[in-house]
Amino acid sequence: MNSLLNHAFDPEEFRREGHQLVDLITTYLNDCREARPMPVLPPSDPDTMVDFWTKDLNSTGFDLQKFYQTLIQQSNHIHHPRYMGHQVVPPAPLSALTELLEAVLNNGMAIYEMGPASTAIERVVLRWLAQKIGMTDLADGILTSGGSAGNLTGLLAARQAMCGYNIWDEGARDDSKLAFMVSEEAHYSVARAARIMGWGDQGVVKVPVNSRMQLDSSRLGETLEKAQAQGLKVIALVGNACTTSTGTYDPLSKMADFAEAHGLWFHVDGAHGGAAAMTEKYRHLTSGIERADSVVIDFHKMMLAPALTTAVLFRNGQHSYETFAQKAEYLLSNGAKKPWYDSAGRTLECTKKMLGVKVYAMIKLYGDQLFSDYITTTYDLGHFMSGLLKQEKEFELAVEPDGNIVCFRYRPDGFTGDLNKLTAFIRKKITDDAGFYVVQTSVGGQIYLRVTLMNPFTKEEDLRDLLRFIRKIAGSLVNPG
C-alpha cells in the first residue's frame, strides 16, 4: 500500500493531533471567554498576507499544530466579547465538534442513500423550526448553504408559482416583465436573485422606507400601481426581518395583508432576525412571518451554528418542489407525491453538507431555550447600547434599534468639519488599535459606526469602554496635541 496514503488516513495520528487541537481550541476559547486583551482583528494587509502564506507553502517542513496556532492568531476573533462586527455568530463550541464528525462522515445528501440519518434529521429540524415560527404542519423546506442561496431558492419558487406559465421549462417570455417589490434596505442578495433570474434592475421595484429604515407600508399601493403602469408584472413582495444595515424590522403583518389582497407571493428574508420569533420578548417584531409563503433563516447568524446553515421554509410545503422544477413536479406521473427525501431536487447544491446535524445536537443538548436566551441576551445588549448612546453627550443613533444591530456616530460639540470623514477616521483608528472590532455603514447617505452584538458575553462595561475610546480618538483629532 502507498505509504503516503497510509499516512494520510492513519487513525492514530488523527487521535494524537485531534487531542492536541481540542486542547488548543479550549485554551483559545478560555482566553476569549475571559476577554484576554488580544487584537480582535489582527491588523494585516491582503498582499502581505498572501506573501506570508506563499513563503510558508514554499518552505520545507510543516508542523500541523503550529499551523493551527498561526491560523488562530491571524483570524478575526469572533468569540472575543469585543468583537462587534459582522453578523457572524460565535458558534456554540459543541456545534463545531459535531461538525467535525459531519466532516469525517461526509455524507453527501443529494439523495437519501447519500445521507440517511442526516436527511431525516434535516427534515426534523425544519419541522421544528417551522413550528417555532408559527407555521403549521403543512410547512416544509430545505437547508441550504447561506442566506444568499436561501433568498434565491425562495424567490425561484415564487417565480415558478406566480408567473402564470412554466418558466422553468419554457424560459422567460418576452411579453412578461417579472418583478418583485422590496424595501430599499434589503440585503444585496435579494436584488442579485432578480438579476440571476434575468429580470435586471427593473425586476427590483423599491418601496420607500420610513425614518427607521423600515419599509413604509403606506407606499405599497402607489408603488405597485406605478410598476404595473410601467408594464411590470409584480409577482412577489419581500420583507426584511431584519435589515442588514440597521437591523430594523419591516411591518410584516401589514405586508402580509397587502400581499394577500393583491395576490402576491410574500417572501421574508429573516436571515438575521427571523429567529426572534422563538423568543417571548422579541417575538412581536416578527409578527406576520408565519404568513409568509417563504422564509429564510440563517442558523449561522442568530442560532449559534457554524457557517453556513440556512433554512428555507415554505408555508405550503409543496412549493418547496417548485424551485427547480416545473409546476406540480412534486407529483409523479401516477399522481403520487414526489419523495421528499431526495433533496437535491429542491436545492442549489447537489452534494451538500450534513447541515441539520449540529442544529439537532444543540436542540437536544440544551433545549429550545438556548436560542431564545441567546437572541434575548444579544437584543437586550443592543437596547442597552442605544440607551447608553442617548445618555452620553455627543453621540447620536442613526435609528432606534430593534435588536442587536446598532448604528451610531460621534459628533463633538461645536464640530463643523465633515462628520462622515470623522466617522470613517474613528472607525479606522478602532481597526488599527484592534482592541475592538466594529464596522461602518451608510444610513440615509451618512456614514455611521455599526456594531452587531453577536457575543452574549459582551458586557455593558465593554460598550462603555468603546464609547470612551471613541471620545479619545476624536479628541486627538479635534484637539491635536
Least Å from the CB of residue 241 to ligand PLP: 8
Least Å from the CB of residue 189 to ligand PLP: 5
For residues 173 to 212, the per-residue mask of contacts with ligand PLP, x marking binding by CB under 6 A and - elsewhere, is --------------x-x-----------------------
Which C-beta is closer to ligand PLP: that of 96 or that of 388? 96
Does 304 interact with ligand PLP (rule: CB under 6 A)?
Answer: no
Least Å from the CB of residue 147 to ligand PLP: 3
For residues 215 to 254, the per-residue mask of contacts with ligand PLP, x marking binding by CB under 6 A and - elsewhere, is -----------------------------x----------
Of all residues in the shown chain, the one whose CB is closest to ligand PLP is 147
For residues 260 to 299, the per-residue mask of contacts with ligand PLP, x marking binding by CB under 6 A and - elsewhere, is ---------x-xx-------------------------x-
Does 349 interact with ligand PLP (rule: CB under 6 A)?
Answer: no
Task: Return the HEC string of the chain.
Answer: CCHHHHHHCCHHHHHHHHHHHHHHHHHHHHHHHCCCCCCCCCCCCHHHHHHHHHHHHHCCCCCHHHHHHHHHHCCCCCCCCCECCCCCCCCCHHHHHHHHHHHHHCCCCCCHHHCHHHHHHHHHHHHHHHHHCCCCCCCEEEEECCHHHHHHHHHHHHHHHHCCCCHHHHCCCCCCEEEEEEECCCCHHHHHHHHHCCCCHHHEEEECECCCCCECHHHHHHHHHHHHHCCEEEEEEEEECCCCCCCCCCCHHHHHHHHHHCCCEEEEECCCCHHHHHCCCCHHHHCCHHHCCEEEEEHHHHCCCCCCCEEEEECCHHHHHCCCCCCCCCECCCCCECCCCCHHHHCCCCCCCCCHHHHHHHHHHHCCHHHHHHHHHHHHHHHHHHHHHHHCCCEEECCCCCCCEEEEEECCCCCCCCHHHHHHHHHHHHHHHCCCECEEEEECCEEEEEEECCCCCCCHHHHHHHHHHHHHHHHHHHCCC
Binding residues with ligand PLP: total (CB under 6 A)? 14
For residues 413 to 442, the per-residue mask of contacts with ligand PLP, x marking binding by CB under 6 A and - elsewhere, is ------------------------------
Task: Select from 39, 146, 154, 345 the one that contacts ligand PLP (CB under 6 A).
Answer: 146
Which C-beta is closer to ligand PLP: that of 187 or that of 352? 187
Residues that bind ligand PLP (CB under 6 A): 87, 146-148, 151, 187, 189, 244, 269, 271-272, 298, 308, 310
